Structure 1
Amino acid sequence: MAFFRVLNQFSKQRLSWALLLAFMIFFELCALGFQHIMMLSPCVNCIYERVAMLGIAGAAIIGLLAPQNGVLRWLGLAGWGYSAYRGLEISAQHVEYQFNPSPFASCDLWVTFPSWLPLDQWAPWMFVASGDCAEVDWIFLSLSMPQWLVIIFAANLIALAFIVLAQFFPSKRGNPIRSL
């Protein structure tokens, strides 16, 4: 109970949302480093995973605006959840392409964004895919990049579940975080 009350109070502070945003910026910078420094070509799924990370970053910005405001906080939580879930879905499919390739199923050749949000035209250096989804060109601690993304998105969903659950445990008077 006390844990959830502390987590509830933490979710109502800008620091929590700023940390989420900082992690997403770090992961986006890593992706750009892989692409532009290590010269690893991103595939279509890589680009969609990148967009999911940006979705989480956008949700963090919404929460960061006014974390005490319940509407904005819940919008941020919903955006975080949707983006993390879609990112997990896409990265799990990406792992499937890499480790169980099928001659009948593969990722698309080009990214498709809605006409009102042509990210690949606005920022081709970040959103144009030129790699192959089935290719494993980077491994760290015996896991490929999409496998790491499965872990990252799943960890986001686990953290989100705790924070959403904590919303139903209102904090007592005072700020328990300051006493920690």
Structure 2
Amino acid sequence: MNTLTQLAHSRKAWFILFATALFLELTALFFQHVMKLNPCVMCVYQRVAVFGLIFAGLLGMLQPKIWLVRFIAVIGWGISAIWGLKLAIELYNMQTYPSPFETCGFLPEFPHWLPLHQWFPSIFLPTGLCSEIPWSMLGLTMAQWMIFAFSLYIVALVIFIWPVLRPNSHPNSK
């Protein structure tokens, strides 16, 4: 069994996914509550995508040797990373090419059975505008950094997808 396959079947790989996504989430909360940068609707949606990465990492850490668990975790990882990248690109375009015809709303459109902005307003209630660029580092806006981060998650997924999903590649696979 090669090193990549061993890593994909270990808790270490899933912990890295979990820890890096948790770091992004904590950084977003630091920006909001300490630096007083108001998140927009698109930022809140990206937070949901990052929470998806956190949950995928947690799930993968639970039973990395069981194929079905890895499969579900990989699906969550892929959906969250691709959706997050799509949102980050949309936010970047709104900020870079503002248009009166393409704006974001003031409240997130969560399903009626999952009103995260009402249950956890300190995390999921947007208070900023999508067209604002409240922060940049090394000449890149927050949206651009998130494009980079979600792209890295997708690249990592592509590298790991075959070893993670191979049903018989680990002696203890079930």
Which TM-score band applies after superposition, normalised by the shorter structure?
Answer: over 0.9
> Which residue of structure 1 lines up, in the alignment, with residue 27 of structure 2?
30
Q: CA RMSD of the aligned region, Å? A: 1.6
Residue 153 (structure 1) aligned to one of 133, 150, 154: 150
Would the aligned equivalents of 1:35 and 1:42 in 2 still touch at CA under 8 Å? yes
> Which residue of structure 1 lines up, in the alignment, with residue 75 of structure 2?
78
Whole-Å Cα distance in 2 between the matches of residues 138 and 53 of structure 1? 19
Superposed displacement of residue 95, structure 1: 0.1
Would the aligned equivalents of 1:34 and 1:40 in 2 still touch at CA under 8 Å? yes
Whole-Å Cα distance in 2 between the matches of residues 30 and 170 of structure 1? 38
Matched, 1:137 2:169: no
Whole-Å Cα distance in 2 between the matches of residues 172 and 27 of structure 1? 31
> Which residue of structure 1 lines up, in the alignment, with residue 95 of structure 2?
98
List runs of 5+ in structure 1 lacking aligned partners.
Answer: 174-180
Whole-Å Cα distance in 1 between the matches of residues 94 and 168 of structure 2? 44
Whole-Å Cα distance in 2 between the matches of residues 8 and 106 of structure 1? 44
> Which residue of structure 2 lines up, in the alignment, with residue 118 of structure 1?
115
Whole-Å Cα distance in 2 between the matches of residues 171 and 10 of structure 1? 12
Would the aligned equivalents of 2:67 and 2:167 in 1 still touch at CA under 8 Å? no
Would the aligned equivalents of 2:65 and 2:170 in 1 still touch at CA under 8 Å? no
- SS of alignment partner, residue 22 of structure 1: helix
Q: How many equivalent residue pairs?
A: 170
Superposed displacement of residue 166, structure 1: 2.9
- SS of alignment partner, residue 103 of structure 2: coil
Would the aligned equivalents of 1:111 and 1:129 in 2 still touch at CA under 8 Å? yes
Identity rate, percent: 39
Matched, 1:52 2:79: no
Would the aligned equivalents of 2:163 and 2:169 in 1 still touch at CA under 8 Å? no
> Which residue of structure 1 lines up, in the alignment, with residue 15 of structure 2?
18
Query: Per-residue displacement from partner, 1:69-110 (whole Å, max 9, x unpaired)?
Result: 000001101100000000000000000000001111111111
Superposed displacement of residue 172, structure 1: 8.1
Whole-Å Cα distance in 1 between the matches of residues 168 and 111 of structure 2? 40
> Which residue of structure 2 lines up, in the alignment, with residue 176 of structure 1?
none
The amino acid across from 1:153 in the alignment is: F
Q: TM-score, normalised by structure 1?
A: 0.90
Q: TM-score, normalised by structure 2?
A: 0.93
Whole-Å Cα distance in 2 between the matches of residues 169 and 39 of structure 1? 47
Whole-Å Cα distance in 1 between the matches of residues 170 and 88 of structure 2? 40
